[in-house]
Every structure is written in structure tokens, then in C-alpha cells.
Amino acid sequence: MHTLDRCRALTLLIAAAMAIIPPWSRAGVAVEPAVVKTEAQLDEEWATTAADLVRRAEAGGHRELATLVGGWQLPDEGERQFVLAIPAVPPQAAPPDWLDTPAEQTIWEDFLTARRTRAAGTFALAVAAVQPEAPQSRRTEADDSERTRLRRGAEEAIRLVSRALRDDPDHPRAREAGGWVKRDGQWVWPEAARRLDKGEEYSPEFGWLPQGRQKRYAAGERYAHGRWTKADAARRPITAPGDIDKQGWKFASDHWQITTTADEKAAAKLAMQMEEAHAVWLQVFGGFQYEPAEWKQRLEGRGRPKALEPFAAKLAANRQAYVAALEPLEPLIARTLGIYWTPTHTAWFFEGEGQQATTVHHEATHQLFAEKRRTSPLAGERCGFWAIEAVACYMESLEPTPWGWTVGGRDAGRAPMARERLVEDGFHVPLAELTALGRTALQSDDRLPQIYSEISGLADFFMNGRKAAYREAFVEYLTRIYTGTVDADTLSRLCRKSYAELDDEYRRHMSR
């Protein structure tokens, strides 16, 4: 749905949304609004309140507080996606260290109240975004059946929930909709909550461990295969795929179980990068994970977060061990820096030179799409394989910001190379041809390096072009690919444009 269409649809949905948003309140939390306001109205009210708070802070000489309040509003998203970092601890439980006078405390509390008020309004908009469209807003074209199966509003709802949680990280319904649960005053993933309930302890250096083991790990010991050994004992030559399981030790993050023969710093770094990919993926592609009815239930407070089994990853001590382990399975493994091995649902990496966060984000994206919901083992075999690789390349464009990350942009990741191929070299594989290619046909194409550049640009176009007009359609297209219900014309039908029209729009997007 185009952005303007989305705004009209949300306006028509206000009455429907109000019928399902029960009022609730508790100490320190804003009550859900009686009237649902638009995002522009909420931002306008925020600007007025923030300006007054800044004036008060500056008048009292509280420059740090004035800077914090004045810089809280996010800049315009432009042609890239914003992914927001959501803290585990509510801000009222962890105020800034420099907040040390009664006057500052008063302004700080008013700042939090204003954020909670906007968060309540933003969450109401998220609920409205997933409601069925009013009859008068529905299209009547013959091919509307394709649109009715789209994840209507899921991507927009996820964006709004994230913004609500940035303002109010302690918003219970937004937290539950986003998949968190609360333990000891902190919001954690269900997988972490399950470990906490078993008495496990976490550290960034060694991950999750049973109670009492952190000290022994810090002293250089590792527990593997039922016995304690020195950390160096895990660094043995790897000559076969199964050797890493026999000789390695385990590093458990919230969502991954990493088996490794590398040292603890390399394992901790990989875990951090994988978890970063998970957090970003949930906001960028979260609409892929659930069916529309499930998103509606979650936003209405009728769904409960569930813990999933950890994803599997292997980290070899060096590139040589990585190649030795995987060459029997993949003869071309020496050309890679990492791989998601679909038959065993395992992401593989190695410690040392050549490893980059972009590789980890790329392979983690493959793993999340393949395992976050039930998918077909033959996804992309017949057609549409380009999009599987395109979204993994898209996640390589992830860049940190003061508020979280950005993803996409014609100047980020591999997109500049796509522009160079298109504008300077005149290289372009038409979508009608590209969408018809299955995995084998694409990977054996003599133009593969150029195609990889192009699909990176196409991913940015479908996710961010024309103010994200095709984002929901593209996520639905990915769903069809991964569930084995795609054909060569699916993307065209979902976008309501011919491939020739989309090719022209892509050229304009990349040429500006």
C-alpha cells in the first residue's frame, strides 16, 4: 500500500481500533488515549512540549539535559530504514548519572511523562494499522485478491511499536507485542527468561552458563563433553565437519548456541554480531515471522511471547579449519567468508583475518528467514532465488547511529556498486528475467558478480524506494518464496505494476 493510501486507511480505521483498545493505567504510565491521533499530530505536540522543556533546562543552566531533550526527536527517515535500540531497563529505573539536582529531576520526570504520552498514542496507531480495512477503503480491481493476502499493516505496525518503545521502554502491551517478557525489572527475550528461570547467569565474555561456572571460565577453564579442560585444549586441528562438535566448547547467547574451537573473545564477538542481526531483522522483516491474524492478536494483547530453541552456529579457530571442515560438503567453500548451511540449519564462520560484521549479518539473515517460521527446504529452487540473496545483501548496509541503526540507502552497503553497474556500465537484468531464475540458474549465470550488485540495489528500491511504497509487497514476496508458493509473476502482481514499469522506477531510483 502506498504511503498516502496507508494514511487514508488509518484514518478510516480509527473507530475500529478504539473498539479494541481497553483503557489501562498504572503509576508513571500514560493512559491510552481516548482519541487516536495521527503520527504528525503526536510529533507536533511533542515539539511544543520539548521546546518548553529545553527552555526550562537552559534557564536553569542544565545544558546536558537540554541537549538530551532537544535531540530526542528522530530525524526524517528519508530513503533508508531506521531500526531503534530498545533498552532492557526502563529509563525511570536508570536515570543519567549527571542528574543530581531537584530542578533537573523535575524536568527529567516531565520529559519521561511526555515520552509516555506520545508512546501511548503511537501504540494506538500500531493497533489500528493491523485492523481490516473499512469497506469503503477497499480496492475493487480484479486482482485485489493478491492484496487482501498481504500482511496488511504489519510492517507499519512494527515500525510504530518500535517508536513507541523508544519513547516508553516500559510500555507493557508494546513489549508483549514485540516479543519481550519481564524479569526482575528488565525486559528480556523469552529465551533469556527461560535461562534466568533455570538459574543461569550471563556475561558478555562467556554467554549463558549454569550458576557458578562464570568464575571458572574467567580462570581459563571450559566445560565440554562432561568434563573441565583448559581453554587452550579446545584449539585442535579440524579435519572433518564433525570435529568441531567433538573438540569445541559452547557459547550460548540469547538466540544462538555457538560451538567453537576459537577463543572466548572471538566467540563473544560473533555472538554480539549475530544478536545485532536478530534485533535489526525483527524490525526490518518482522512482518515475515507471523501471519496477519497473529500480529493482530499480539497487538491486541491476546498473544504471548514464546521461547524458541536456539539457532546453531559454528566458529572455527581459523580459515584453514573452516575450509577443512566444510570442503567435503561444499567444494567451493574456500571462496567464502561464511556460510549458512541449509541442510543442517547451521551458520559457519571462522576466527581471523577476513571476517567482517557484514558477513555475519548476511549469513544470519539467511538463517533467520529460513528458521523463524516454517519454510520450504526448496525455497527459491524454481524461481525467485535472487530475492533470498538480495535481502541478505541489504542487511550488509546496517550502520550504527546514536539511536540504533540505519539499513539501506543508495549510498550504503553494496548499493553504490549497483548504481555504478546501472548508470555507468549500463548493466541491468530485467525483472521479468531475474524473477524467473531459480537457484541453480542464477548461481551458474556468467553474469553472477554483476547480478549480485544489481540485486543489492533492487533490495534497496523495494524496501525504501518511493517512500517504501513496495515494502509490504516485497516482504510478502519473500514469504511466498520461502513457503514455496511463488511464481515468476508474483512480485508484479503484489506491486500492482508490470515488470517493465518496475524496471523504469528502479532506474530512476538509482539514477537520482
Report the C-alpha gap between 188 and 200 in whole angstroms: 14
Q: Measure Cα distances from 195 to 61, 198, 202 in Å.
A: 46, 5, 9
| Per-residue confidence (pLDDT) for residue 10, from 0 to 100 | 39
Region 151-173: mean pLDDT is 91
In angstroms, the CA 486 to CA 465 distance is 23
Structure confidence at residue 179 (pLDDT): 93
What single-letter amino acid sits at 71?
G
Residue of 359, 171, 385, 394 lying closest to 281 (CA atoms): 394
Give the CA count within 13 Å in the CB-facing half-sphere of 137: 19
The answer to whether residue 2 scores a pLDDT higher than 70 is: no
What is the C-alpha end-to-end distance of the chain, expressed in Å?
23
Mean pLDDT computed over 491-497: 97
Looking at residue 223, its pLDDT comes to 87
Classify domain 198-373 by CATH architecture: 3-Layer(aba) Sandwich (3.40)
**Which pLDDT does position 280 carry in this prediction?**
98
User: Which alpha helices (H) appear in 211-356, and where do they start and end?
Assistant: 214-218, 243-247, 264-285, 292-299, 319-326
How confident is residue 143, by pLDDT bands cut at 50, 70 and 90? very low
pLDDT of 510 higher than 90: yes
**What is the structure's pLDDT at 152?**
60
- State the Cα–Cα distance between residues 256 and 269, nearest whole angstrom: 13
Most confidently modeled of 6-15, 163-172, 297-306?
163-172
**Three-class DSSP category at 66:** helix
Would the pLDDT of 149 be above 70?
no
Q: Which residues contact 320 (CB under 8 A, 6 or more apart)?
A: none
- When comparing pLDDT for 461 and 26, which is higher? 461
Give residue 20's pLDDT.
36
d(CA 274, CA 404): 15
Q: Are 409 and 80 in contact (CB under 8 A)?
A: yes
Q: Residue 1's pLDDT band (boundaries 50, 70, 90)?
A: very low
Cβ atoms of residues 360 and 338 within 8 Å:
yes
Phi-psi label, residue 296: left if phi above 0, alpha if psi -120 to 50, beta otherwise: alpha
> How large a percentage of the chain has pLDDT more than 90?
75
Rounded CA separation 314/338 (Å):
10
* Range with the poorest average pLDDT among 114-123, 242-251, 390-399, 443-452: 242-251
Residue 141 clears pLDDT 80, i.e. is over it: no
Confidence of residue 35 (pLDDT cuts 50, 70, 90): confident
What's the confidence (pLDDT) of residue 148? Answer: 43
Mean pLDDT (whole number) for 15-31: 41
Q: pLDDT tens digits, residue range 331-341?
A: 999 999 999 99
314 and 349 Cβ atoms separated by less than 8 Å: yes
Model's pTM, two decimal places? 0.89
Residues sharing a CB contact under 8 Å with residue 69, sequence separation 6 or more, in sequence order: 50, 53, 54, 57, 107, 111
Q: What is the mean pLDDT of residues 420-446?
A: 96
Cα(362)–Cα(348) distance, rounded to whole angstroms? 12
**Grid cell of 200 as nine digits:** 543461569
Give the pLDDT confidence score for residue 175 in this predicted structure: 96
180: confidence class by pLDDT, cuts 50, 70, 90: very high
Residues sharing a CB contact under 8 Å with residue 172, sequence separation 6 or more, in sequence order: 182
Mean pLDDT, rounded, for 286-303: 87
Cell triple for 299: 497487538
Domain assignments of the chain as residue spans, ordered by start: 3-178, 198-373, 378-512
Phi, psi angle pair for 384, to nearest 5°: 80, 10
Decide if pLDDT at 484 tops 70.
yes
Q: Is the pLDDT of residue 412 over 90?
A: yes
Residues shown for the chain? 512
Contact 26, 148 (CB under 8 A): no
**pLDDT for 208:** 98
Q: Measuring CA to CA, which residue among 274, 494, 291, 286 is closest to residue 384? A: 494
| Cell numbers describing residue 279 | 534485533
Distance CA 250, CA 209 (A): 9
> Tens digit of pLDDT for each residue in 345-361?
999 999 988 789 999 99
What pLDDT score does 239 carry? 61
Residue 29, C-alpha cell as written in the block:
504510565
Mean pLDDT of the chain: 88
Asked which of 2-6, 186-190, 225-229, 298-302 is least confident by mean pLDDT, the reply is 2-6
Query: Which stretch, 264-268, 283-287, 351-355, 500-504, has highest mean pLDDT?
Result: 500-504
In the chain, the percentage of residues whose pLDDT exceeds 70 is 88
In this prediction, residue 68 carries a pLDDT of 97
Whole-number pLDDT of residue 512: 85
With a cut of 80, say whether residue 15 has pLDDT above it.
no
CB-CB contact of 499 with 432 (8 Å)? yes
The residue with greater pLDDT, 11 or 212, is 212
Residue 23 has pLDDT above 90, yes or no: no
Mean pLDDT of 88-102: 91
Higher model confidence: residue 6 or residue 473?
473
